[in-house]
Structure 1
Amino acid sequence: MPHLPAPLTLAETDPRRRQRRKRRSESATAWAFLSPSVVVILGLGILPVVWSLLLSFQANDLVTPSRWVGLDNYRALARDPDFSQAVRNTLEFTALYVPLSMILGLALALALNRKIRFVGLYRTLFFVPFIISATAQGVLFSFILDPEFGAVNSVLHHLGLSPQGFLTDPGQALPVLVAISLWSGTGFCLVVYLAALQDVPRSLVEAARLDGAGHRHVLRYVVLPALAPVNVFLAVWQLIASLQVFDLVYVTTKGGPLGSTTVIVYFVWEQAFKNFTAGYAAAAAYVLAVVLFLAAAGTLALRRR
Structure 2
Amino acid sequence: MSVATPPRFAVGGRRPPVAANRPPRGRAVRRALTGWAFAGPATVIVLGLSVFPAVWAFFISRTKWNGVAPATDVGWRNYSRLADDPGALDAARQTLLLTVTFVPGSIVLGILIAVALNRKIRFIAFYRTCIFVPYVASAAATGILAGYVFSPQFGIVNAALRHLGLPAQQFLESPSQALLTLVVIALWGEVGFTTVLYLAALQDIPSELVEAAVVDGAGPWRVFRHVTLPHLRPVTVFATVWQTITALQLFDLIYTTTRGGPLNTTQTVVYYVYELAFQTRRLGYGAALAYLLFVVTLLLTAAVIIYNRRRGSEAF
Could you state the TM-score of these two structures normalised by the residue count of structure 1? 0.90
- Structure 2 counterpart of 1:217, from 218, 222, 232: 222
Partner residue in 1 for 2:5: none
Partner residue in 2 for 1:99: 104
Question: Post-superposition shift, 1:164?
Answer: 1.1
- Name the CA shift for 1:216/1:84 in 2 (closer, same or farther; >3 Å): same
Partner residue in 2 for 1:14: none
Partner residue in 2 for 1:8: none
Deviations 1:94-145 (A, max 9, x none): 1001001110110111112111111111111111111111101100010111
- Name the CA shift for 1:128/1:62 in 2 (closer, same or farther; >3 Å): same
* 1:203-282 pair list within 5 angstroms: 203-282=208-287
The whole-number CA distance in structure 1 between the counterparts of 2:226 and 2:284 is 52
Deviations 1:220-243 (A, max 9, x none): 111101111011010011111111
- Name the CA shift for 1:189/1:149 in 2 (closer, same or farther; >3 Å): same
Identical counterparts, % of pairs: 49
| Structure 2: runs of 5 or more not aligned | 1-23, 311-316
* 1:31-42 pair list within 5 angstroms: 31-42=36-47
Partner residue in 2 for 1:72: 77
* 1:83-122 pair list within 5 angstroms: 83-122=88-127
CA RMSD of aligned residues (A): 1.6
Structure 1 position 141 matched with structure 2 position 146: yes
**Structure 2 counterpart SS, 1:141:** helix
The whole-number CA distance in structure 2 between the counterparts of 1:26 and 1:101 is 45
Partner residue in 1 for 2:178: 173
Structure 1 position 295 matched with structure 2 position 295: no
The whole-number CA distance in structure 2 between the counterparts of 1:164 and 1:197 is 39
- Name the CA shift for 1:22/1:128 in 2 (closer, same or farther; >3 Å): closer
The whole-number CA distance in structure 1 between the counterparts of 2:164 and 2:29 is 77
Structure 1 position 126 matched with structure 2 position 111: no
The structure where helix makes up a greater share of residues is 1
Structure 1 position 285 matched with structure 2 position 290: yes
* 1:9-48 pair list within 5 angstroms: 28-48=33-53
Could you state the TM-score of these two structures normalised by the residue count of structure 2? 0.87
Question: Post-superposition shift, 1:27?
Answer: 5.2
The whole-number CA distance in structure 2 between the counterparts of 1:42 and 1:115 is 45
Partner residue in 1 for 2:160: 155
**Structure 1 counterpart SS, 2:276:** helix
Question: Post-superposition shift, 1:35?
Answer: 3.7
Structure 1 position 52 matched with structure 2 position 90: no
Deviations 1:48-92 (A, max 9, x none): 111101111111111111011011111111101111011011110
**Structure 2 counterpart SS, 1:227:** helix
